[in-house]
Amino acid sequence: MKVITRQFTKEILLATSFVLMALVALFAFFELINQLEDVGKDYTIGTAFLLTALTLPARIYEVMPLAVLLAAVYIMSRWAANSEFTVLRVAGLSPQRLALGLMVPGLILVMLTYAFGEFVAPWAERYSLEVESAATNSQLEARGYFSGVWVRDVTEDEKGKALDRYINVKNLSVEDARATGAWRMFEFDGDGRLLRMIRAESAVFDTGRGWELKNAVIYRYPLVDRYDDRPTASRIEKEEAEHFFLASQVGPEILGVMTTKPENMSMRDLDRYVSHLSKNNQQSEHYRIALWTKAFYPLAIFVMLALSMPFAYMNARSGGVAIKIFLGVMIGIAFYALNNLFSYLGILNTWSPIAVSVTPTVVMLLAAGAAMYVVERR
């Protein structure tokens, strides 16, 4: 059994490498074509190649289950076509022992996928944003907001009374992750009354003290008094400060999240941001689904290997290797479609993030079990 497991591991890892290279090269080609329209206008061809290369870790993470499925289907089909698997079955290789043999390459590939999703892809995504911003002489902008990053911060004043802040940051610095562009901050008390507004040209985060707002202008608004007939504008206090420190639970890591798509973030960053949203009573379903999807997605490799097992029990009359590879591609497309479908439905219907993330994998696992039952009963 050790010899068979070693051979399965060697061939599946080798085939997965070739399939992965082909798929990633295809995606890289289309990404480079998409970059060419900006070459000469915003940056050079060298920058375009660099930006394309920085998208590859995320592509590897995305297509790894499909690459494993196609590679395993090819290996199983080839062994069946050469009657090698028939000999193994006669020698006593049961489906259970085959599944245990496939666990070894599966575990290696799962750990590799986790490494790309947690460390390599998030770093590459962040660095690509910095490269693109530096090449175009722009700042890191928040996704989907023309006015910049909007973050809620629930805190307390010196007397322990609740304060509700809404912070708007125009952009983030490319060179220093702790520095930002222009600030606007609106502060409300527990009854929803506006207490003050702060504007600043830029800010730098100082650990232990909070944000140092530079060239800040502070507007303090009075409480509405029906017996005071003075114009409201005349009662607004204005203060200017070259350096103003603002203590806040919102740090650079929270603002940095807003420049990255949830699916390209690490589980650590997603967990930190979900905790921030929960503390501030904000909707976090999208990020929770992304978090649990990142947790369960690499485990789909085991399911892909299980889906390839029935192909080993098909003889040559069941179709050539090309037909079986085509069926593998269709299965992979169905898996990705289920993943996307349940993600959108989960956000729309506020379903359980764990259930949304696990359901596509469970459905494919049940399909693998049903297929094995059919080929074994023949």
**Separation between Cα atoms, residue 13 and residue 76, nearest integer Å:** 13
Residue 142 is predicted with a pLDDT of 61
Q: 76 and 55: one domain?
A: yes
- Residue 251 and residue 296 share a domain: no
Q: Pick the last residue of a domain from 222, 242, 258.
A: 258
Q: Which domain holds residue 201?
A: 149-258
Do 217 and 339 lie in one domain? The reply is no
Of the residues 223, 258, 293, which one is the last residue of a structural domain? 258
Give the integer Cα–Cα distance in Å for 19 and 342.
Answer: 27
Instruction: Clarify whether residues 32 and 7 are in a common domain.
Output: yes
| Sequential pLDDT tens for the chain (378 residues) | 688 889 889 999 999 999 999 999 999 999 999 988 888 777 888 999 999 999 999 999 999 999 999 999 999 988 888 877 878 888 888 888 889 999 999 999 999 999 999 999 999 988 888 888 777 766 666 655 667 788 899 888 877 788 999 999 988 876 777 899 899 999 999 888 899 999 999 999 998 889 999 999 999 988 766 556 666 655 788 999 999 999 888 888 888 777 777 888 899 989 988 988 888 888 888 889 999 999 999 999 999 999 999 988 876 555 577 888 889 999 999 999 999 899 888 878 878 899 999 999 999 999 999 998 888 776
- Residue 26 placed within a domain: yes
> Are residues 311 and 193 both part of a single domain?
no
Q: Between the CA of residue 347 and those of 20, 35, 270, 338, 360, what are the distances in Å? A: 31, 31, 16, 14, 15
Question: CB neighbours of 122 closer than 8 A, spacing ≥ 6?
Answer: 260, 264, 265, 266, 269
142 is a domain residue: no
Which two tokens mark 309? 């097992």
Inside any domain, residue 357: yes
Please state, in angstroms and rounded to a whole number, the distance separating the CA atoms of residues 368 and 179.
51
| Claim to verify: residue 8 and residue 124 sit in the same structural domain | yes
Among 190, 223, 258, residue at a domain's last position: 258
Q: Note the pLDDT of residue 323.
A: 86
Two tokens at 12? 């599946």
Give the number of domains in the chain: 2
In a domain, 264, yes or no: no
Tokens at residue 114, please? 């986790």
The Cα–Cα gap between 15 and 32 comes to 26
> What pLDDT was estimated at residue 104?
94
- Judge residue 208's burial from the number of C-beta atoms within 10 Å of its C-beta, 0-12 exposed, 13-18 middle, 19 or more buried: exposed
**Strands 183-189 and 194-200, how do they pair?**
antiparallel
On whether residue 116 sits in a domain, the answer given is yes
> In this structure, are 251 and 357 located in the same domain?
no
Provide the greatest CA pair distance for the chain: 98
The verdict on residue 361 lying in a domain is yes
Contact 268, 332 (CB under 8 A): no
Whether residue 212 sits in one domain with residue 122: no
Judged on CB neighbours under 10 Å (0-12, 13-18, 19+), 195 is: middle
| Euclidean distance between CA atoms 284 and 172, whole angstroms | 23
**Are 120 and 174 within one domain?**
no
The CA radius of gyration of the chain, in Å to the nearest whole number, is 27
Same domain, yes or no: 94 and 176: no
Q: Are 314 and 77 in contact (CB under 8 A)?
A: yes
Helices (H), the chain: 2-35, 45-54, 56-81, 84-90, 95-115, 121-135, 252-257, 267-279, 285-296, 300-312, 321-349, 353-377
Q: Does residue 274 belong to any structural domain of this protein?
A: no
Distance CA 335, CA 360 (A): 7
176: left (phi over 0), alpha (psi -120 to 50) or beta: beta
C-alpha count within 13 angstroms, C-beta hemisphere, residue 173: 15
Q: Does 189 share its domain with 107?
A: no
Q: Is residue 339 included in any domain, yes or no? A: yes
244 and 309 in a common domain: no
Evaluate if pTM is beyond 0.75: yes
